[in-house]
Structure 1
Amino acid sequence: MRIGFSVPQFGPFADPHRTARMCTALEALGCDSLWVGDRLLAPLASPEGYLGGNEMPLRYGTHLDPLLALGVAAAATERVRLGSSTLNALWQPPLVLARALTTLDLISRGRLDVGIGLGWMREEYEAAGVPWQGRGARLEETLDVLDAVWRSDTVVHTGPLWTIPESTVLPKPLQSPRPPILLGGFTALALERVGRRADGWLAAAMPLPYFHGLWSVAVEAAERAGRDPAGLRRVFRVNAEVTTAEADPAETHHRGTVRQICEHLRSMCEAETDEVLVDLQLTTASPEEFLDLAAAFMAELAEPSTHVRPVV
């Protein structure tokens, strides 16, 4: 199991100098990866689709740009992988996105993981001037353009949304043939796309029966496409709500003591390439608290699991 943390970029952590210092400290703890998130705004009225109509945390209204924050993290670290979980890829033309991601891969000396998704907030699409309808097709063509830019010497693309004439687009990413692409999503269509054309799934900590049902869709799609599902990575994100007292076992996929949350994360990790992503930005208020809690997660996740897997 690999261990990652969120890049500090929201709320009280939305200061690039603080972000740089904290990324350096997180790498020193021994983690494997750091990941940015992506928000454009936090509506004052409860946005459609947010946790059953609950109010969105106000600190999401204060945020650093994800790609620029990754550049800060790249400059402040030397070893850890750097990814996005998730980058809302449809808010900019894919050729522009490819240029930015290529630059990040070069800045980080080949440490970039491209994690992209559709997003879930209609209000952000409206503010960005991007149609809410047709998001799946827009993502498919975005992936086509990224492949054309990164895999071809002469870049050309003709599609329903974008046209690129025969062109030279250099430089290429340091990673060959391209940086790994991981896709987010929690529907059958999203998991089918993961299995068919991605390098992995940006998942989340969730009840195990739900997780196994979703993952089986990706496995079957990979097999139909002639791909080996064992080669797909999985990154399990948890927006941890850390408590001092033990929480209800039904909630430990996102809420509980450090030990409870870590036990659930370990129960989901079945392959050496599986990774956990612990986001501490909603449960801490200062760099010191964030880093102390990150150290606690590192220590706990390094311990052998006490979870007994059921015999099936």
Structure 2
Amino acid sequence: MHFGASMFFTDYSMTPAALATALEQRGFESVWAPEHSHIPLSRRSPWPGGGDLPKQYYDVMDPFVTLTMAAAATKTLKVGTGVCLVNQRDPIQTAKLVASIDQVSGGRFLFGIGVGWNAEEMEDHGTAFATRAKLVRERVEAMKAIWTQSKPAYHGEFVKFDPMMTWPKPIQKPHPPVIVGGAFPHGARRAVRYGEGWIPLAGRPGQYGDVFDFVPKFRQMLAEAGRSADSCPVTIFGSGEDAETLKRYRDLGVVRVSVSLPAAKEDVVLPILDRWAVLIRQAG
């Protein structure tokens, strides 16, 4: 089982290079960067975490920029979007971003995606909340065509383009894994349909259910779709610092566990990473 860490990179957090270096030194496998283009002031959509939206959501930097910096500072650490809001991004340009960061990182990019929860934010991008999931699916399908074909074309309900030529293509073949975030069962269904991985949250069991209950159900969904568990492994976000729970994740066959770090400087973050380095060794 691998270990990752996510951070809202801001102008008051550790730099992506500093965090990535610290993670690589302590045995972590990956670093993850979330995104929000902006936060509308109306705040009509409630934050799924409950209560007031944390300041870091307003302040977070672009993930492709920060992850490029993280990749440049490391040799083996994987860099992932956790998650990229595909419903708010042009698929042709995003396909080029993904292929480019996969190239400059030497094939270390993990494309975590989500459909989003902030209706006002996506509406500012011209995306309707009710149809956002289908829009994301079409954009992912279109990007896969761009990454894998020399003259890709796509014609869906929301995404349409005639044959084109666009490079670079990703180093990873056929393309970087599309790891779909979202709760069970809807996020799981999307991962089964077009993902190479699934990211459920462990940190909100009252809202999203128990990982140990729904991971077997997810694998049953894969089997019913004619897919193996290995074709769509599970990455757990929001894990707590508990060695026994981590061992249970490992025994459950979870491929990766990621901890959410505060958007803070080294004096706050490094002690957390040191504790996790011990947990990584204990979990084997």
Q: Do they superpose with TM above 0.5? A: yes
Q: 1:45, CA displacement in angstroms? A: 6.5
TM-score under structure 1 length normalisation = 0.82
Counterpart secondary structure, 2:210: helix
Counterpart secondary structure, 2:130: coil
- Cα pair 1:47 1:56 within 8 Å, conserved: no
Which residue is equivalent to 1:24? 21
The whole-number CA distance in structure 2 between the counterparts of 1:43 and 1:128 is 11
- Structure 1 counterpart of 2:150, one-letter code: D
- Cα pair 1:3 1:298 within 8 Å, conserved: no
Counterpart secondary structure, 1:9: coil
The whole-number CA distance in structure 1 between the counterparts of 2:282 and 2:96 is 41
Q: How many residues align?
A: 281
1:41 aligned residue (2, 16, 38) = 38
Residue 88 of structure 2 corresponds to residue 91 of structure 1: yes
Q: 1:44, CA displacement in angstroms? A: 5.8
2:66 aligned residue (63, 69, 73) = 69
2:172 aligned residue (164, 170, 175) = 175
Counterpart secondary structure, 2:173: coil
Q: Alpha carbons of 1:271 and 1:53: their partners in 2 closer, same or farther (altered >3 Å)?
A: closer
Residue 256 of structure 2 corresponds to residue 300 of structure 1: no
Larger Rg: 1
The whole-number CA distance in structure 2 between the counterparts of 1:263 and 1:201 is 22
Q: Alpha carbons of 1:263 and 1:155: their partners in 2 closer, same or farther (altered >3 Å)?
A: same
2:102 aligned residue (87, 93, 105) = 105
Pairing 1:226-305 to 2, within 5 Å after superposition: 226-238=226-238, 254=240, 258=241, 260=242, 262-270=243-251, 274-281=255-262, 285-304=264-283
The whole-number CA distance in structure 1 between the counterparts of 2:125 and 2:74 is 32
Which residue is equivalent to 1:310? none
- Cα pair 1:203 1:235 within 8 Å, conserved: yes
Residue 6 of structure 2 corresponds to residue 6 of structure 1: yes
The whole-number CA distance in structure 2 between the counterparts of 1:45 and 1:157 is 36
Higher RCO (C-alpha 8 Å, min separation 6): 2
Residue 147 of structure 2 corresponds to residue 150 of structure 1: yes
Q: 1:177, CA displacement in angstroms? A: 0.8
Q: Alpha carbons of 1:147 and 1:178: their partners in 2 closer, same or farther (altered >3 Å)?
A: same
Which residue is equivalent to 1:309? none
Q: 1:219, CA displacement in angstroms? A: 1.9
TM-score under structure 2 length normalisation = 0.89
Q: Alpha carbons of 1:271 and 1:213: their partners in 2 closer, same or farther (altered >3 Å)?
A: closer
Q: Deviations over 1:245-281 (max 9, x none)?
A: xxxxxxxx65xxx4x3x43333233356621111111
Any unmatched runs of 5+ in structure 1? 239-252, 306-312
Residue 187 of structure 2 corresponds to residue 190 of structure 1: yes
Range that drifts further, 143-152 or 38-47: 38-47
Runs of 4+, deviation exceeding 4 Å = 42-47, 206-209
The whole-number CA distance in structure 2 between the counterparts of 1:191 and 1:51 is 18
Residue 27 of structure 2 corresponds to residue 58 of structure 1: no
The whole-number CA distance in structure 2 between the counterparts of 1:50 and 1:83 is 23
Q: 1:210, CA displacement in angstroms? A: 2.5
